[in-house]
Structure 1
Amino acid sequence: MRVSLKSILIGSATLLGVAAAGQGVVSVVKLRAIEREVNEVATNWLPSVNVVNTISTATRDVRVKLYRFVVASETPQALAENEAGLNTALKTLDGLRRTYEPLISSAEEKALYDTFAPLWSRYTEGQQKVIELMKAGRQADALALTTSAAMADLNNGAIRALQRAVDFNREGAQRSTALSMASAGSAMLTAWIAMAISVVAALGAMLFSLFGVARPIERMTRTMGRLAGGDTGVEIPSRTRRDEIGDMAAAVSVFRDNLLQTRKLEAETVLARAGAEAQRQAAMRAMADSFEGAVGGI
């Protein structure tokens, strides 16, 4: 089977190009995946964790302010100030909820939030009853409702729902981080493999160029020089190769054979000339002898 040097060199260059291109494509794909996961962590999971934690803290703050509103509102001024503080806490909580709601990115997360919303709505209804009782001067009833098991269960249930949302978003952040690490590891492995292929291909091309091309051409050049100097006994290298070097060796072999044939023809010509000269001289001698005999006879 004939394999040309051009095909080998083109194949080596193609292998290097394919390895480089493959590394580039995989790196781009993996980097895009890493970028997507990091962006998900930065713009969704972590903000959600922070906001939900803040909402949970705000619900506790509302409960504390409600209790303060009940037990520390002994004067109308204190009642007004404590009610204002309670309303501020409620507004802060509402703002946090409006911040978090656009960050909900899945049906599972929405289901968790939907568990919190009705519980908190019922808690705020009870809270409104507490405010009405305080304004009616029924502090004992307001305190009993504030510290009741029903109000505590609603508040604790809302907090537990928020904690599940925190855990959900934290786990999502961990998954995205793990995917980013896996993509980075895969990209690194691909880079090492592509680099190894490139190094092997480059080393193979270099060794082949040195021992398969440069050295044979150098030997062929020396052989042609000796043939040009008349040394027809020189051995022609690389005659068994089935590539351009083998074609060159075949051409040099033909040149040597032609040179040998020429020398053989020259030698035969010299011998023929020598034989003709000997025959001419013999004929001349015979003619001289015949002439001498004829003259002697006369």
Structure 2
Amino acid sequence: MQNLHIQRKFMVVFGGLMILITGICVLAIVALSSVNTEATALVERRIPNLSNAMELKTAVANIRAGEYNHILSSTLHALREADADLDVHRKALSAVIAKYSKTLARPETLTNFSEFKARLESYYRDDARVLELSRALRKDEALAVARDAETRFDAVLASADQAVEIQRDLAKEVSNSVSTTESRSRVTLIVALVIGVAGVLGGLIMLTRLIARPLSELSRATGILAAGGKADVPHRDRGDEIGDVAKAVEQFRMAAVDRAGSDARAAAEQQIVTTTLAEGLVLLTEGDLTAEISVEFPRHYAALKTNFNDAVVRLRTMIGSVSESAAGIRTGSSEIAQASDDLARRTEGNAASLEQTSAALVQIDGRLKATASAAGRTVARADQAIATVSGGRTMADEAVQAMERVRESATGIDSVIQGVDKIAFQTRVLAMNAAVEAGRAGDAGRGFAVVADLVSSLAMRAEEEAKRARDQLTVTQTDIVTAVEAVQRVDGALANISGDVGEVHTLLGTMAADNQAQSSAITQISVAVSAMDQSTQQNAAMVEQTSAAARNLTNEVTALADQAALFKVDNGAVRKVRKVAKAAPAKIGAVPYTSPVKALPVSVMAKANGVAHGIESKDWSDF
């Protein structure tokens, strides 16, 4: 990771976060889709199938009751009404059978339905015989046949009961599957959320360790070097932009060290020359004209040693006329020494500072632009993540609304079951009243008593089935409420994820503000570099004045030589004195001084010139 470019590091970290967040959203969508599919199957197939099976049972019981009603009918009008009722009940049963058969797909339901139809056809044959005898007013024979068909009716009713049980078991199976899917989805989303939070924290820690901390350490080392101190440049072994900056800073540090060594050696040589000259001049000022330079001078200053010794030899014969010229030489030597020291100090400090600062400004400006570009792209990616999480929350709301519709549908079914329960209770009351009336009628009412007993038994069984259906709906409603709560918790988790992504967005905005602050700091540094450039130009002017002073000193020495040539020794002879070489004039094609600092923008140069103009000409009076 250290050798990757910073842009790629950002892409790796935030790309991983985007993949992680997308995976969490996909898991949430899949979980909600599974719960919605199973809940839809429960509402659209299992509950209607259970209702159809119960209607099937009720329709069969109605036909049986209509059959006994037909037997008990003694008039032609009553028989026609009984036939009409039976036709209505048969059509209702046929409609229920047709509706129920369209929803069957499982093997057990198809087997049960085939068995039911076979038993129903067998019962219909007995029913036709009963109705034929009843229409012929052969009531006793019809009642006997009806009693003989009781076993086949019970078989039909048992098949209907079995259909109800099968549909109830299938509905319970789907309900259990919904609960299992909801639990598994909840665990999966919790684990995914924990992994997502860990991924965000890991990405922040990785960026801090790979970018922020190395930049801070490199900035600290650069500040120490810029202040003139000694520091080891860290992270030179990295292969990214930070490593490039560190290598560049290390090169400038080594160049500064080499330049400092050269300046130190030059200063040491100048110190030897100026110290020796100062000692000789002190002896000359004290009147000791035998003092000559015996110390070995550096090669560049060998001519100075020769000239000085020749001057001392001449001074031994020029006591009178050389006094004033010696004062001029002493003054010129002092000016040269002072100017040389000042020039060495200022040139050494300014050259190192200008080179290091110029390179640092170029590198920092490039990195700030790259960092700002990466921060902008990252903010766009964070906006996309927020939009994705918002879409997940919208799907969760739709799932909650679907669950609410399922619960309302179950409430309507419960109302239907309550109506069935009331009808069964009223039927049982009517059966009891019929039994009482049959008892009063004596032997003539025995058949009617049997019918009343059967009706009472059917009413009790209808009440029991209605109670069982109500219990099953209660369980289903409880499971639906649990599923709604789970979906709401998923929506809360998605809201937390959206908040975390928003915090990441805020952090990126803070980084952009920091980049702006760094840009302002670079502008201030540019102003300082401009001021240093002005100082370097002043140093160049001082070099020219130093050269002028050296030429003046050469003229003074020439005058002294001329006067010495006219001096006469004790024996009256003129002492032959070697001419002193004149100072070399300035070369015509000499290259003028050029500042090592790169040109700054016009606006920055205007500010810098405003600062530089504050330096008055009185500074040159010190020189």
Give the conservation status (yes or no) of the 8 Å contact 1:65–1:85: yes
Q: Distance in 2 between matches of 1:167 and 1:6?
A: 66
The equivalent of 2:306 in structure 1 is 283
Range with bigger deviation, 47-56 or 233-242: 233-242
User: How far has the Cα of 1:115 moved from its partner?
Assistant: 0.5
Give the conservation status (yes or no) of the 8 Å contact 2:3–2:238: no
Give the conservation status (yes or no) of the 8 Å contact 1:12–1:201: no
The equivalent of 1:40 in structure 2 is 41
Change (3 A) 1:252 1:238: same
The equivalent of 1:66 in structure 2 is 67
Amino acid at match of 1:118: A
User: How far has the Cα of 1:289 moved from its partner?
Assistant: 4.7
Query: What SS is found at the alignment partner of 2:231?
Result: coil
Matching of residue 225 in structure 1 with residue 226 in structure 2:
no
Give the conservation status (yes or no) of the 8 Å contact 2:31–2:185: yes
Q: Distance in 1 between matches of 2:92 and 2:307?
A: 143
Give the conservation status (yes or no) of the 8 Å contact 1:30–1:184: yes
Give the conservation status (yes or no) of the 8 Å contact 1:15–1:198: no
The equivalent of 1:208 in structure 2 is 206
Query: What SS is found at the alignment partner of 2:179?
Result: helix
CA shift digits 1:2-29 (9 cap, x unpaired) = 5424444322222212222222333333
User: How far has the Cα of 1:158 moved from its partner?
Assistant: 1.5
Amino acid at match of 1:283: T
Report 1 or 2 for greater relative contact order, CA contacts < 8 Å, sequence distance ≥ 6.
Answer: 1
CA shift digits 1:111-154 (9 cap, x unpaired) = 11001001011111111110100112211110001111xx1222
Query: What SS is found at the alignment partner of 1:234?
Result: coil
Give the conservation status (yes or no) of the 8 Å contact 1:16–1:197: no
The equivalent of 2:163 in structure 1 is 165
After superposition, residues 1-16 of structure 1 pair within 5 angstroms as 2-4=2-4, 5-16=6-17
Range with bigger deviation, 130-139 or 263-272: 263-272
Amino acid at match of 1:198: G
Structure 2 stretches lacking a partner, 5+ long: 274-296, 318-567, 574-623
Range with bigger deviation, 255-264 or 281-290: 281-290
The equivalent of 2:28 in structure 1 is 27
Query: What SS is found at the alignment partner of 1:147?
Result: helix
Q: Distance in 2 between matches of 1:213 and 1:35?
A: 46
Q: Distance in 2 between matches of 1:189 and 1:244?
A: 43
Q: Distance in 1 between matches of 2:202 and 2:241?
A: 19
CA shift digits 1:235-261 (9 cap, x unpaired) = 434446564434433332222111111
Change (3 A) 1:181 1:90: same
User: How far has the Cα of 1:52 moved from its partner?
Assistant: 0.6
User: How far has the Cα of 1:90 moved from its partner?
Assistant: 1.6
Give the conservation status (yes or no) of the 8 Å contact 1:239–1:250: yes
Q: Distance in 2 between matches of 1:240 and 1:225?
A: 20
User: How far has the Cα of 1:208 moved from its partner?
Assistant: 3.0
Range with bigger deviation, 59-68 or 267-276: 267-276
Report the RMSD for the aligned CA atoms in angstroms. Answer: 2.6
Amino acid at match of 2:213: R
Range with bigger deviation, 135-144 or 83-92: 83-92
Amino acid at match of 2:267: V
Give the conservation status (yes or no) of the 8 Å contact 1:123–1:155: yes
Range with bigger deviation, 50-59 or 192-201: 192-201
Range with bigger deviation, 127-136 or 100-109: 100-109
Q: Distance in 2 between matches of 1:214 and 1:122?
A: 89
Query: Rg larger in 1 or in 2?
Result: 2
Percent identity, aligned pairs only, is 22
Q: Distance in 2 between matches of 1:58 and 1:157?
A: 15
Give the conservation status (yes or no) of the 8 Å contact 2:214–2:242: yes
Range with bigger deviation, 256-265 or 137-146: 256-265
After superposition, residues 137-152 of structure 1 pair within 5 angstroms as 137-148=137-148, 151-152=149-150
Range with bigger deviation, 284-293 or 55-64: 284-293
Give the conservation status (yes or no) of the 8 Å contact 2:74–2:137: no
The number of aligned residues is: 294
The equivalent of 2:546 in structure 1 is none
User: How far has the Cα of 1:97 moved from its partner?
Assistant: 1.1
CA shift digits 1:196-219 (9 cap, x unpaired) = 222112112223333442233233
User: How far has the Cα of 1:176 moved from its partner?
Assistant: 2.3
CA shift digits 1:177-199 (9 cap, x unpaired) = 23333333333333223222221
Give the conservation status (yes or no) of the 8 Å contact 1:3–1:243: yes
The equivalent of 1:50 in structure 2 is 51
CA shift digits 1:40-82 (9 cap, x unpaired) = 2122111011011111122112112212221x21222222222
Structure 1 stretches lacking a partner, 5+ long: none
Give the conservation status (yes or no) of the 8 Å contact 2:233–2:249: yes
Change (3 A) 1:95 1:292: closer
Query: What SS is found at the alignment partner of 2:207?
Result: helix
Q: Distance in 2 between matches of 1:237 and 1:285?
A: 52
Range with bigger deviation, 255-264 or 284-293: 284-293
Change (3 A) 1:174 1:248: farther
Range with bigger deviation, 9-18 or 180-189: 180-189
Amino acid at match of 1:146: A
The equivalent of 1:126 in structure 2 is 126
Range with bigger deviation, 270-279 or 133-142: 270-279
Q: Distance in 2 between matches of 1:228 and 1:100?
A: 91
Q: Which runs of 4+ in 1 moved over 6 A?
A: 292-295
Give the conservation status (yes or no) of the 8 Å contact 1:133–1:142: yes
Give the conservation status (yes or no) of the 8 Å contact 2:53–2:167: no
Give the conservation status (yes or no) of the 8 Å contact 2:24–2:196: no
Q: Distance in 1 between matches of 2:181 and 2:22?
A: 18
The equivalent of 1:257 in structure 2 is 254
Amino acid at match of 2:29: V
Give the conservation status (yes or no) of the 8 Å contact 1:37–1:180: yes
Q: Distance in 1 between matches of 2:311 and 2:243?
A: 62
Give the conservation status (yes or no) of the 8 Å contact 2:130–2:145: yes
Q: Distance in 2 between matches of 1:289 and 1:81?
A: 163
Q: Distance in 1 between matches of 2:267 and 2:3?
A: 46
Change (3 A) 1:195 1:174: same
